[in-house]
Amino acid sequence: DAGITQSPRHKVTETGTPVTLRCHQTENHRYMYWYRQDPGHGLRLIHYSYGVKDTDKGEVSDGYSVSRSKTEDFLLTLESATSSQTSVYFCAISEETLNEKLFFGSGTQLSVL
């Protein structure tokens, strides 16, 4: 299995608080992604990165920011969490070509109360 670690695995927080989720990879892959998964929806792309300090928005980026200061780490921040951001968040990586086959982390279950 690809070396991808997400932390924390579970988090409960209150509306209005900032939250940061971390994704760490040991594969030295160039591309990293953050997705959210909600019932009845496919995985939806929040942000992605194509290199250190190179990031771009996905289809559901409002309310989220990301940073990638090292190849191995990709951080997702909810500046002020809302209940609509309760979801399962998956980090993914791909090796060479953007959108090539993805390898996913184990996910973070985030609950915003």
Partner 1 sequence: RKEVEQDPGPFNVPEGATVAFNCTYSNSASQSFFWYRQDCRKEPKLLMSVYSSGNEDGRFTAQLNRASQYISLLIRDSKLSDSATYLCVVTPSGGYNKLIFGAGTRLAVHP
Where does this chain bind partner 1 (CB under 8 A)?
A: 35, 40-45, 48, 58-59, 90, 98-99, 101-107
Distance of CA 27 to the CA centre of its chain: 17
Hey, is 105 helix, strand or coil? coil
Among residues 19 and 46, whose Cβ is nearest to partner 1?
A: 46
Q: How far is the CB of 62 from partner 1 (least distance, A)?
A: 16
d(CA 16, CA 36): 19
Among residues 53 and 101, whose Cβ is nearest to partner 1?
A: 101
Among residues 12 and 98, whose Cβ is nearest to partner 1?
A: 98
* The CA-based dihedral angle spanning residues 10, 15, 18, 22, taken in that order and rounded to the nearest 10 degrees: 20
Q: How far is the CB of 99 from partner 1 (least distance, A)?
A: 5
